Chain A
């Protein structure tokens, strides 16, 4: 017998919950945004200052040449430097505060603490809770990515190298990166709605992120293993190519499909599952 579930309520955004999530996250959001903006200043600076010397150093050394391809970026062009910053662990870590930390905290974390019970005792549908917190997370991730790219652009402009990229393509890179972290966020939400405790949800979300990251790094540094890149979500954000003029529709489609699948799973499971008393 299929399990019945709650109906009614808007099932959409809840303005009160939205405002509260924004208010509760604003300090962390500010710190991460400042950090990413500062980090965004760094990679164009390294390119403009040491790019030529580094390129000369790397040329003729196959090992260094391969190593310089880390994550599809490089330090020999502005687009490569921005791409390198985009996939750097600093960017991934700061974005994960919201792409993974928020989804895991607002469902599994609140379940474990017992506060989700207090919220859902109000006329707030579980789907509405999910949609509202998802939208908050998507907004935060988008703002953080914008902060990093703003740092890139500001740095490149101040160093006089901004004309080396087509600035109009920067929003496309933002969109592509946003989709990537939206995919991780949707997966983290899917894990979060499935568990009553924080640890398993957090473990699964971090595991997925780390495994796909490591796959991409190995594939970019080891030519014989380049085929495994197809199994990493990071592979589908080719920042340098996007800035240089090509955004593959299939890459975007795949990221959209991952987001859609994870969202569909969470929207199906969350209203139907039992929320037993917190232990």
Chain B
């Protein structure tokens, strides 16, 4: 269910760091996050997209109380992210980017330890272990023997095994092979069906497009877009290639069509928004071949960045 009360709300959340010390540099600051205002609804998978260094991890660390905001505030599950951070962390599962684990412990004892710190068991562990294909023998081995992918699986399990109300996942598919990525996406689908909320930070555009309901795009610490995935994709341009039996129809002036290149019986163009006028314009032509490349979030992402840069 999407559209319930907010799981995460930030108002003008900002974080600045002092940089350097010494003559002529005193007081210099850099804004890691600038005036972030977002709302993550309960029951949705919320993508938080941006390149490395954009401020994604800073945002997460502010939400969990690791960092203190320079301005603004955040509420997680209805509680203040600074003063109530201990209570918040009791209801949240967190996967840090590039998670560090205790190498001398076995996978099983590490998961036991991390679950015990929540004090409420690990009701989801068996299911997660099975879905992510971690065998009992693997879990009995020391973590130092694990590959990167196996460490990431342990990271995912420790974040979700206690069945949190809200999962905050920072680059969760990093290090997973394509099969395991698919298994992980299935886990997320399961969480969505159960009404759990997931804050999904990533720079991998395709997975955000695949698993998220809404996406916020962040760049240089500033929010540059916040939209439903569907809306974002709908308003993106599609690349169209067509071949006709005979001359290509005249598409100049058709709403949504741009970058038109016609050459004899071949035509290519960009198509944006409602496809109705375009389909009506080619309805009477004899189309021999038609390719419409689906709008990729990557293009939307790049366009947002280009727009932001131009601005």
Contacts and interface: CB of A to CB of B under 8 A. Distances in A.
Interface in A1-53: 3-9, 14, 16-17, 20, 24
B98 A114 contact: yes
Size class of the B contact interface (CB-based, 8 Å): 20 to 34
25 contacts: A4-B68, A4-B82, A5-B83, A6-B65, A6-B84, A7-B84, A14-B117, A16-B117, A113-B100, A114-B96, A114-B98, A115-B101, A117-B96, A118-B96, A119-B114, A121-B94, A121-B96, A122-B89, A123-B117, A124-B89, A275-B67, A276-B17, A277-B61, A277-B97, A278-B100
B101 A121 contact: no
Contacts of A20: 113
B101 to A, nearest CB: 7
Most interface-central of B17, B102, B158 (chain A CB within 10 A): B102
B48 to A, nearest CB: 15
Main SS class of interface, B = loop
A17 B65 CA distance: 20
Interface string A244-279: 000000000000000000000000000010111110
B139 to A, nearest CB: 17
A113 B87 CA distance: 25
B100 A275 contact: no
Contacts of B114: 118-119, 122
A20 B113 CA distance: 8
Contact of B118 (A120, A123, A275): A123
Contacts of B98: 114
B293 interface: no
Given A9-B86, A118-B114, A272 B68 contact: yes
B86 A118 contact: no
Contacts of A125: 86
B100 A6 contact: no
A125 B65 CA distance: 10
Interface of A: 3-9, 14, 16-17, 20, 24, 113-115, 117-125, 272, 274-278
Contacts of A113: 100
B99 interface: yes
A277 B33 CA distance: 14
A111 B288 CA distance: 63
A275 B61 contact: yes
A278 B99 CA distance: 10
A6 B64 CA distance: 10
Nearest to B98: A114
Contacts of A272: 68
Nearest to B168: A121
A115 B102 contact: yes
A123 B101 contact: no
A255 to B, nearest CB: 32
B130 interface: no
Nearest to B170: A277
A254 B45 CA distance: 57
Nearest to B102: A115
A212 to B, nearest CB: 29
B116 interface: yes
A122 B85 contact: no
Contact of B66 (A8, A9, A17, A274): A274
Contacts of B92: 121
A272 B82 CA distance: 10
B123 interface: no
B82 A120 contact: no
